[in-house]
Amino acid sequence: MSAPQPMPLVTIDEIRDAHVRIRPAARVTPLLEVPYPSGAPRTSEAARFFVKCESLQPMGAFKIRGAYNMVAQLDADARARGVITYSSGNHGQAVALAAQLLGAPAVIVMPTTAPLVKVEGARSYGAEVIFAGTTSTDRKVAAEALAAERGLTIIPPFDHHAIITGQGTVGLEILEQCPEADVIYVSIGGGGQATGLASAIKQVRPSVRVVGVEPEGAPTMKTALAAGAPVSLPSTASIADGLLTIRAGDITFAHAQAFLDEVVTVPDTAIADAVAWLSRYARLVAEPSGAAATAAVRMGLGLPADARHVVAIVSGGNVAPEAFARYVALGAGAVA
């Protein structure tokens, strides 16, 4: 019996091609310098901290990069039949927007617990929204059944070569905007953004440290890396609703093994504090999932004391106003 072949990893040329392909839909988001967090270790007062504002993408999150990259590569017949995805919210909105821009019908399968702001976002781009259970497995099973019934193309939320390639374009932008970056923090749900970013960074500048960040209540990739293979968690729970994947993808796991330096976990209290901190110091509206990377920096997790240029990705800003106000109020005493 022949040995299993290693999974092909995305190449830097594929990421560069994707960066050109997504230009009609994805913005080059700003990289803002913000105060260096008082809780983060540093050996030099010259150390600087930056946030990459993916919350300012057209549909409010980084997901448009991967979604548009994949839908744009479908042939005319596949686009005419339509696309479907399963998502807790942001990927669903991204697929809906990508499909609208490219003239394809879209169906989005969301959990029954999806925030209304994300449901309304998907519908605003003309997508049909269907609800199925509360877990990623529930959504995936429902989407696969509908895809077979209607002849739709599935646009996976993270575990696909084209999705990872599209998400990796953010890494190219960070290196252009801050060539001196030496540590980059990125949140992990299914791992598409984190592994795409790490793939780009490590193939251009291997010395840059890339740290993935998960909620303590959903350590999907951290558990998989410790086990040497993806593991299904019995359950997940966090205010970061976009980071609650139960099992890391096989493709994202392979990329995480190859390119991520470390994965750390943060408590919900630190995530809520980071939402408030970003509101005060960056004037950004960040959803909890989008603030997780900043939370890790503020806690100093995985951060070398000699780091000079630290970057955290603010991956999304789709949060209901009343929830945002609550997080800001909760974190008001911890934003120094």
**In the predicted structure, residue 177 carries a pLDDT above the cut 60:** yes
In the residue annotation, 124 being an active-site residue is answered as no
CATH code assigned to 64-156 = 3.40.50.1100
**In the predicted structure, residue 259 carries a pLDDT above the cut 90:** yes
Per-residue pLDDT band for 138 (boundaries 50, 70, 90) equals: confident
Which pLDDT tens digit goes with each residue over 7-35?
Answer: 799 999 999 999 999 999 999 999 999 99
The residue annotated as part of the active site, out of 63, 140, 202, 222, is: 63
User: What pLDDT was estimated at residue 320?
Assistant: 86
CA triple 128-117-95, angle to 5 deg: 45
* Range scoring the smallest mean pLDDT among 46-55, 137-146, 193-202: 137-146
In sequence order, which residues have a C-beta less than 8 Å from that of residue 283 and are 6 or more positions away? none
- The amino acid sitting at 134 is T
**In the predicted structure, residue 336 carries a pLDDT above the cut 60:** no
Q: How far apart are CA 213 and CA 229, in angstroms?
A: 18
In the residue annotation, 279 being an active-site residue is answered as no
Q: What is the pTM of this model?
A: 0.94
Helical packing angle, 169-177 and 64-71, nearest 10°: 130
Structure tokens at 64: 């448009």
The residue annotated as part of the active site, out of 87, 88, 199, 289, is: 88
CATH code assigned to 12-62+164-334 = 3.40.50.1100
User: What pLDDT was estimated at residue 3?
Assistant: 46
Which residue is associated with the tokens 């830097």?
Answer: 12
Parts of the chain belonging to CATH 3.40.50.1100: 12-62+164-334, 64-156
